[in-house]
Structure 1
Amino acid sequence: MISLKKVGFLINPIAGMGGAVGLKGTDGLAEEARRRGAKPVATHRAETALKKLLGLDALFFTASGKMGESALRRCGLEYQVVCQTSEESSAEDTKKTCRSFLEKGADLVVFCGGDGTARNVSGVIRSQVPIIGIPAGVKMHSGVFTISPQAAGELIRGYLEGDLNVRETEIVDVDEEKYRAGTLDTKIYGIAATPYKPALVQERKQIYSASSEEEFKEEIAIFASEFMRDGSAYILGAGTTTAKIAEVLRVEKTLLGVDVVKDGRVICTDASEEDLLGIIDEVGEIKIIVSPIGAQGFVLGRGSQQISPKVLRKVGPENLIIVATPHKLKETPRLLVETGDFDLDETISGRRQVICGYRIAQLKDVEASSRVGMDQSGSF
């Protein structure tokens, strides 16, 4: 007789709210994010994963209200509230809930949030029980996250049905104050066990720093400085490759933010989604330049949520320009988009040119992360 599987499940309801409004994180800034008009995203992403678990023979342990109970109820899954939490969820609520999961003998712990949530969860769970992260944060460098909420649902089901093995991976977080100031300072906080299926789990972000990398970035930047003379405004996403473009143009660039350049000058620094939408209405012709996250391959949907589905639809997917050095492309097995808008991700997907040098481009497949691992029928 197969015993009922027990799953600890929690949501960080404020995770990801800081992205579209340009805060580069939400830790300690939930009220500021709301003041800027941010909308919650984590619960919807959690429910997208949970809906793939209908019919699974499992009992979910969870926290009260927005931290899990409400989502499980709406999705029609069997659950038990094991921890009462505050209305405004906190890191301590996450840790307290995770301690309850261990006390109840959970076979797996699933959380929805970003690297801060992963750090809080793994700090309690350690390697006692495997954990899976449903991606919802502004930044996600840890190896416990799946490439999409849909992939999380598939990974949870596969593990509980005994089809998947577990691997150890690193829990990584950034210093958010330094991050907002333009410095990427990452630190490994621990090791966690996580179910693993290569197509469904993201890799840790990689930073490449060879001398040849800088030469190719320079080539890309010189080429970009030439085609950017066409009178269009250009939205520059985050990263060192787009920063090199700004350097060649001799303009200031927010390394970890989104900026807009037109006719050789910056017209908006560290832009939010609202800023970008306003600029699009003002300038008319506008294009977007982005670079994939090293090793992970995300072109859109991670790190630059200011370039939102609304922004992308107004600009037009045909005006999306991808840049990356040859080495980054070689070390990045796939390019992914995960904007939260399934139809838009499908539109952006397909064979696309990636500028990788001076007047040099490679054709690469760009995939909607929600479809990675699916067969032709649309099933995983």
Structure 2
Amino acid sequence: MRRAIGFLLNPIAGMGGTVGLAGTDGVVAEALRRGAAPRSAGRAVQVLSLLKDDDITWCTCSAPMGEDALIDAGIDRSTVLYRPAVSTGAADTKAACRAFLEAGVDLVAFCGGDGTARDVFDAVGREVPVLGIPAGVKMYSAVFAVDPPAAVTLIRETGRAPCRDSEVMDIDEGAYRSGRLAARLYGYARVPYLPERIQSGKQVFEQQDEERAKDDIAAFINEVMLPDTLYIIGAGSTTARIMERLGLAPTLLGVDAVRGGEVVARNADEKTLLSLLDRYPRAKIVASPIGAQGFVLGRGNQQISPAVIRKAGLRNLIVVATPGKLAATPLLYVDSGDAALDREVGDSFLVVSGYRMAQRKRVVHPM
């Protein structure tokens, strides 16, 4: 069955992740100043290269907004329906999607993050299914494949896989950078659905029992902390409680580093973490999965990059989550950007869920 796929790429998506910026919208210059490298094109090529021999008619945008990635993936026959200016933005995404609609595509596949998802939804609404190839920093919307291989499967199943209504979230990046999560439901897009291949929307857990569980987890982690070990503390309210238990102010939506009961780096980027690991090779990483989505790595904590994880040692990754979060998160995922590292994780994590308590949770590798 021949399908027509509209493909577009946000060239700046995800650049803020490893350098400690909570997104890239409006801060591209700062991301570049900190040494950020483009990420989305590589993620797109990873998907497209596996689809180059499929019976697909590709509609796209010129140059870095789509055509270049298709060519790099070995797809040299596509129809360019939109030509953006040199510097691309939200208006270009919307204009390209309207051109895809006019061409009658069966699916709009986009490579980006939550901001790109919102712009795509603005243009197509519920007229055509959409699918996100994850390349942003946070990706709280439920329109993204769990990783690039899952996106390949979903694109191949266009027209056969059922579609479901999935949340598009509007994230205030300014608030996010200041350590406050301000998210609202923007709308429901139609998304092709196969189990374990589409991520869920983020959920926030604030019940009283959850708060008590965070305290119990923090008490246990503090009890076993070693004074001569560097602790890289990931983003989230559960990990923040560990910092608070030490009497330290956490970066709620960033990554902090602690040693000997003191902060040695606050809101650290990948470069800072690697430098600290040179200085303090004995280290552990504490991370918590995103509620309901289940991502332990690759969503909102790209500062803890594959290079950081390998340097600290995968065996030194500690995963923490409250029982309530785990009950609503039946499966865990990793999408670090390094497929070999993701496979090394294995098929489960032992997740600290209370004081001297843990649950084993399955890790899904879609392909």
Q: Structure 1 length normalisation: TM-score?
A: 0.94
The aligned residue for residue 124 of structure 1 is: 123
Q: Tell me how far apart the structure 2 counterparts of residues 349 and 338 of structure 1 sit (CA, whole Å).
A: 13
How much does 1:223 deviate?
0.7
Q: Give the 3-state SS of the residue equivalent to 1:43 in structure 2.
A: helix
* 1:21 corresponds to which of 19, 22, 28: 19
Amino acid at match of 1:345: D
Q: Tell me how far apart the structure 1 counterparts of residues 258 and 174 of structure 2 sit (CA, whole Å).
A: 26
Q: Tell me how far apart the structure 1 counterparts of residues 80 and 22 of structure 2 sit (CA, whole Å).
A: 32
Alignment of 1:75-94 (within 5 A): 75-77=73-75, 78-94=77-93
How much does 1:282 deviate?
1.1
Call closer, same or farther: CA 1:249–1:175 in 2, change over 3 Å.
same
The aligned residue for residue 362 of structure 1 is: 359
Alignment of 1:8-157 (within 5 A): 8-77=6-75, 78-157=77-156
1:191-239 CA-partner distances (Å, limit 9, x unpaired): 2111111211000011111111111110000111111134211000000
Shift >6 Å, 4+ stretches: none
Aligned partners of 1:123 and 1:190 also within 8 Å: no
Q: Tell me how far apart the structure 1 counterparts of residues 247 and 226 of structure 2 sit (CA, whole Å).
A: 14
How much does 1:52 deviate?
2.4
Q: Tell me how far apart the structure 1 counterparts of residues 301 and 227 of structure 2 sit (CA, whole Å).
A: 25
How much does 1:334 deviate?
0.9
The aligned residue for residue 350 of structure 2 is: 353
Instruction: Report how many residues are paired.
Output: 366
Q: Structure 2 length normalisation: TM-score?
A: 0.97
Q: Give the 3-state SS of the residue equivalent to 2:363 in structure 1.
A: strand
Amino acid at match of 1:5: R
Aligned partners of 2:330 and 2:361 also within 8 Å: no
Aligned partners of 1:170 and 1:189 also within 8 Å: yes
Q: Give the 3-state SS of the residue equivalent to 1:310 in structure 2.
A: helix
Aligned partners of 2:314 and 2:345 also within 8 Å: yes
Q: Tell me how far apart the structure 2 counterparts of residues 321 and 7 of structure 1 sit (CA, whole Å).
A: 40
- Aligned sequence identity (%): 50
Aligned partners of 2:46 and 2:73 also within 8 Å: no
> Pairwise CA RMSD of aligned residues?
1.2
Amino acid at match of 2:248: V
Aligned partners of 1:61 and 1:79 also within 8 Å: yes
How much does 1:55 deviate?
2.5
How much does 1:88 deviate?
2.2
Structure 1 unaligned residues grouped into runs of 5+: 375-380
Q: Tell me how far apart the structure 2 counterparts of residues 230 and 366 of structure 1 sit (CA, whole Å).
A: 31
1:164-183 CA-partner distances (Å, limit 9, x unpaired): 11111121021000000000
Q: Tell me how far apart the structure 1 counterparts of residues 35 and 170 of structure 2 sit (CA, whole Å).
A: 26
Q: Tell me how far apart the structure 1 counterparts of residues 332 and 3 of structure 2 sit (CA, whole Å).
A: 35
Amino acid at match of 2:336: T
Amino acid at match of 2:337: G
Q: Tell me how far apart the structure 1 counterparts of residues 355 and 145 of structure 2 sit (CA, whole Å).
A: 34
Q: Does 1:236 align with 2:225?
A: no
The aligned residue for residue 378 of structure 1 is: none
1:235-263 CA-partner distances (Å, limit 9, x unpaired): 00000000111111110110000000111
Amino acid at match of 2:157: G
- With 102-111 and 73-82 compared, the bigger mean Cα shift is at 73-82
Q: Does 1:163 align with 2:164?
A: no
How much does 1:76 deviate?
2.9
Q: Give the 3-state SS of the residue equivalent to 2:110 in structure 1.
A: strand
Aligned partners of 1:110 and 1:132 also within 8 Å: yes
1:33-64 CA-partner distances (Å, limit 9, x unpaired): 11111111101111111122233222111111
